[in-house]
Amino acid sequence: MTLAAKPLAGVTVLELGTLIAGPFCTRILGEFGARVIKIESPDGGDPLRQWRKMYEGTSLWWYVQARNKESLTVNLKHPEGLEIVRKLVREADILVENFRPGVLEKLGLGWEVLSELNPGLVMARLSGFGQTGPYRDQPGFGAIGESMGGLRYVTGFADRPPVKTGVSIGDSIAALWAALGAMMALRHREVNGGRGQVVDVALYEAVFAMMESLVPEFDVFGFVRERTGNVMPGITPSNTHTTRDGRHVIVGANGDAIFQRLMRALDRPDLAEDPSLATNAGRDARATELYELIGAWVANHEMEVVLQVLKRAGVPASHIYSVGDMFADPQFEAREMLQWAQLPDGKSFRVPGVVPKLGETPGAVQSPGPALGAHTRDILMELGYDEAAIGRLQEQGAV
């Protein structure tokens, strides 16, 4: 089968952002064929280049977050640097930025200016609290969005303070909303003959949008969802249990038929046939009893036995994976979720695969994150600057 061009081939994206939310949004677009030009400060570039585990002076996270991108160094405080950005905007389809609201306006790169340069431009703006409202000017990282959006409040155990997830989930969720919003705006522009528009993503709203039935439950019943540890509140049984060999296994048997299969697998046909446990409401009323029963059975067996028994019974279950478990799992390999790439010195290393899987126009990892300013000369020449002009810009500190 001959694969078609990638779905975003021909789309040019400018990235004016650092760290996580904005750059993750453009990473997604780049994986599916968009040309992503990342505009970085000549003075060190994106701070993510120096975050977490380093290899030969550069973060391994950087090589993943900036993959498939081109790095253009531009001094946004220099008038010639701003002119370079304006020239790029004229030819771009999407601009993604995650500065605090008002920063680009002070630079003369606000929406009114950019949309006049390019009426078809889609501008995805990610910030802590959005472009409007009384909090718009406050700084807001992903952790603040997770807190204000409700996620932190319900995460953890009831007798302890709230906890964070192990990754910057608020930033990543916002990035997904921004990518989706940019695609909807692009669709409107190209199919409905519309102009470009602003896609305004607030981190706290991105998290808040994922909070399931939180709002109507409070509005109708005054119910405030609290922390419940590993239990899925109101949906029983779904919990994490510890095996005899100290491994952690999640068992999700909250479907009516699945619960019956679980009870039979645990040699409790009486509970499988108990009419008071036939529905979720009945099971939730006896949640403590059921979790004690399941937990005791799991604790009496090795992890492999637990998973084999539950697999035969058709009960969803898994141990809690570490990254080492992922590397050893054939499902990750079969789905190409651990792909090979090369570091600048030629060393091969694994990077996460691409999501989602498109049957006809799949995404791909073409290159790891580039060196700072690696594409500056080529991009400037595309814009009409000759070697002498590029040298002058470098001498002036514009690039």
231 closest CA partner among 294, 173, 169, 275: 294
Region of residue 127 (phi > 0: left; psi between -120 and 50: alpha; otherwise: beta): beta
What is the token pair recorded at 253? 């048997």
What is the token pair recorded at 263? 């009870």
| Cβ proximity of 53 and 64 under 8 Å | no
Q: Which residues contact 59 (CB under 8 A, 6 or more apart)?
A: 48, 49, 50, 51, 52, 53
* DSSP state, residue 141: -
**317 pairs with which residues across the strands?**
251
Catalytic residue among 46, 93, 171, 200: 171
Q: How many residues does the chain have?
A: 399
| Cβ proximity of 262 and 310 under 8 Å | yes
3-state secondary structure of 123: strand
3-state secondary structure of 188: helix
What is the token pair recorded at 103? 């920063």
Please classify residue 201 by burial: count the beta carbons closer than 10 Å to its beta carbon, then call 0-12 exposed, 13-18 middle and 19+ buried.
buried
How big is the CA angle at 333 (ends 330 and 338), to the nearest 5 degrees?
A: 135
What is the token pair recorded at 107? 């630079």
Q: Is the dihedral of CA 178, 183, 184, 190 positive or negative?
A: positive
Region of residue 328 (phi > 0: left; psi between -120 and 50: alpha; otherwise: beta): alpha
What is the distance between the alpha carbons of residues 298 and 295, in angstroms, rounded to a whole number?
A: 5
3-state secondary structure of 147: helix
Q: Is the dihedral of CA 48, 52, 53, 56 positive or negative?
A: positive
98 closest CA partner among 195, 7, 186, 25: 25
93 is an active site residue: no
What is the distance between the alpha carbons of residues 108 and 337, in angstroms, rounded to a whole number?
A: 42
Tally Cβ neighbours within 10 Å of residue 211: 14
Catalytic residues: 171
